Amino acid sequence: MITGTPKPIEELLEMLEPYENIIVAGCFGCVTVCRVGGDKEVQVLSSTLRLAREAKGKNLQIREVCLERQCDPEYLELMRPYLEEYQAVLSIACGAGIQFLAEKFSKTPILPGINTGFLGVTERQGEWTERCQGCGDCVLHLTGGICPVTRCAKSIFHGPCGGSVEGKCEISKDVKCGWQLIIDRLKSLDQMENYGKIKPYKGWDSSRDGGPRRILREDMI
Amino acid sequence: MKSGSNLERVLSAGHFSVTAECGPPRGADPDVVREKAAYVKDNVDACNVTDNQTSVVRMSSLAGCMLVRETGVEPLIQMVVRDRNRIALQSDLLGASALGVRNLLCLSGDHQKFGDDPQAKNVFDIDSMQLIHMVKTMRDEGVFPSGEKLEGAPKFYIGCAVNPFADPYDIRVPRLKLKIDAGADFVQTQCIYNMETFIKYMEDAKKEGLHEKIKILAGVTPLKSAGMAKFMNRMVAGIDIPEAVIKRIADEPKEKQAEKGIEMCIEQIHELKEMEGIAGVHVMAIEWEEKLNEIIGGAGLLPRPVIE
Amino acid sequence: MLPCTGRIDESLLLKAFENGADGVMVVGCLEGDCHYVNGNIRARARVERVYQILEQIEIGPDRVRMYNLSAGEGAKFAAFANEFVEIISTIGQSPINKARSGNSQPVQEVES
């Protein structure tokens, strides 16, 4: 899922300073699952903002909504009938949702309520870790199902580097060495022959480096 | 000859080779490099010039190489893949070769987290293995990785680094083999303190015949004090200093610890000289270049051979 | 009706403040004694989060507090209630109520 973290409340209050009547918009997609932008978070954030503003003697009217997804146009359209009544939308969806809102509604300021994080997994309640950078050229079949681009701090293809100690990365004792994980897994799969080959330079053009990406599926259009 | 460098000539002639390193200054003062190079001069076959080591910003490695060469020392340019993409790396390789640098060390580079600018964007477009391969392609085939022909191929004696003390141990020799396959001519190791592990590493490398395919320069760093030993052991990833080594220097009174460190380093070089498969030593006297002559001379490695 | 403090979420507590409460006490069963295994432990975590929110927005974190007792401890409940009222009286009126005195209640729109 796409993960994220709430923006500090002071930052949001500063962002909302010019407005008195806004929409706080959540999303029932990824951000609901990682508890940063769902229906509940809309309620808590709206209450928090109202209380903070009222304590300073400045009211803030909030319409609380949570869309099925902010990354699909048909759900965004549901906001159109009432959007003009509000001065701004504070979206706590991921960066994709926030931008899509901005794109669809050209006359309303759209503000980010969260900092979008990474494509990750739930380790346990309250802990998420990164797994994929969406580089567009998957090599997981060669690396035991563990991604060197994401899991290695240097994204190297022939690791581990000299900074790998007792399974930990040189950047922090809290970070596992991605290449130690790859090697452990290759060994348990009896696929160490994959290690002994020099891999071609990675084509980062399928990644973000190639410019904003597009997937076009002719068969579906 | 692949590059015609002095280091290559000395190693090819079968001499036990010596390299050292100069860290460029954290500023634009060229005299800092000149002073260090003066201590290095006549003691080594080539001198590494580090490339923003530990991600701390310093004068560029190429500029440092030029200053070192001006002093009469053959430079060895270190190049990390942390800060430059393949376009910049190729360009700098061409530039270094054009300016007469003939030795190259291909490195990943420490993560930027360790330096002054932990918020910097890192590059790692290609890794150190691929850098070796890229230089070899450019040198031997006279083409860019893209396949375009070069107007003059860069001439480098290609080096790589290995850390026999990093984990997992059992990938260390296979990884050296990969670097040889990629095109490395020589290798400089991480500083060795744990001779037991290093001997095992060499045995494993020799079983694969690697010592015949690549010139292995064993890395040593003289300890200045027991405090430095403890600090390095604890704080520097991939450095392994056994208790016995720390104890040996710690048992000396403080004012004699530096002297003891040098004695231990010389002793270690003697031991390395006797080991089959070791082609030379890389003496990293960190901010202690003035001791190089004493160490290298003490190890019976002076004068350095002159090979035309 | 709430069957368990585990059913209380942060927004409910915040709503109480929005609706004019100067303090909110959450009274749950004794820890380790929850009919729903860990409802009161979850409640405690949520109360802690509200505590942090109140601190961040300068409403005064001590306006929310969790107490634990068993259903048979009527006297203790009374003592806790008195204690909490004492605390809140000392802290005084919430900044929301201070700001509101003279103002009308804000309108809330909720859409599910």
Structure token pair of residue B188: 């400089």
Considering Cα of C89, then C94, then C99, then C100, what sign does the dihedral take?
negative
CB contact under 8 A, B174 and A195: yes
CA distance A194 to chain B (A): 12
Q: Which of B82, B105, B111 to mutate to test the interface with A (most CBs of A within 10 A)?
A: B111
CB contact under 8 A, C53 and A44: yes
pLDDT tens over chain A, length 221 residues? 999 999 999 999 999 999 999 999 999 999 999 999 999 999 999 999 999 999 999 999 999 999 999 999 999 999 999 999 999 999 999 999 999 999 999 999 999 999 999 999 999 999 999 999 999 999 999 999 999 999 999 999 999 999 999 999 999 999 999 999 999 999 999 999 989 889 999 999 999 999 999 999 999 98
Task: Write out chain B residues lying below 8 Å of A174, CB-based.
Answer: none
Q: What is the ipTM of this complex?
A: 0.91
Q: Where are the domains of chain A?
A: 2-118, 136-198
Tell me which residue in A54, A59, A65 faces C111 most closely, judged by beta carbons: A65
Number of residues assigned to chain B: 308
Beta bridge partners of A21: A61
Question: What does the pLDDT look like over B120-133, one tens digit per residue?
Answer: 999 999 999 999 99
Question: What does the pLDDT look like over B52-109, one tens digit per residue?
Answer: 999 999 999 999 999 999 999 999 999 999 999 999 999 999 999 999 999 999 999 9
CA distance B141 to chain A (A): 17
Cα A53 from Cα A60, distance rounded (Å): 6
What pLDDT is attached to residue C101?
83
Ranges of residues in chain C with a pLDDT under 70 are 102-112
CA distance A66 to chain B (A): 35
Nearest CA in chain C to A44: C11
Cα A53 from Cα A58, distance rounded (Å): 5
Ranges of residues in chain B with a pLDDT under 50 are none
CA distance A62 to chain C (A): 7
Task: Please give the full DSSP string across chain B, using - where no structure is assigned.
Answer: --S--HHHHHHHTTPPEEEEEEPPPSSS-HHHHHHHHHHHTTT-SEEEE-SSGGG---S-HHHHHHHHHHTT--EEEEEESSS--HHHHHHHHHHHHHTT--EEEEE----GGGSS-TTSPP--SS-HHHHHHHHHIIIII-B-TTSPBPSS----EEEEEE-TTSS-GGGHHHHHHHHHHHT-SEEEEEEP--HHHHHHHHHHHHHTTGGGTSEEEEEE-----HHHHHHHHHHSTT----HHHHHHHHTS-GGGHHHHHHHHHHHHHHHHHHSTTEEEEEE--TT-GGGHHHHHHHTT--SPP---
What pLDDT is attached to residue A52?
97
What pLDDT is attached to residue A189?
96
Superfamily of domain A2-118: Response regulator (3.40.50.2300)
A64 in contact with C, Cβ within 8 Å: yes
Cα A201 from Cα A203, distance rounded (Å): 6
Tell me which residue in B111, B122, B145 faces A201 most closely, judged by beta carbons: B145
Task: Write out chain B residues lying below 8 Å of A155, CB-based.
Answer: 124, 127
CB contact under 8 A, C14 and A57: no
CB contact under 8 A, A204 and B125: yes
Is chain C adjacent to chain B, meaning 3+ CB pairs within 8 angstroms? no
CA distance B159 to chain A (A): 15
Cα A117 from Cα B148, distance rounded (Å): 40
What pLDDT is attached to residue C108?
55
Tell me which residue in A50, A56, A66 faces C106 most closely, judged by beta carbons: A50
Domains of chain B: 6-298 (3.20.20.220)
CB contact under 8 A, C110 and A47: no
Chains adjacent to B (≥3 CB pairs closer than 8 angstroms): A
A21 in contact with C, Cβ within 8 Å: no
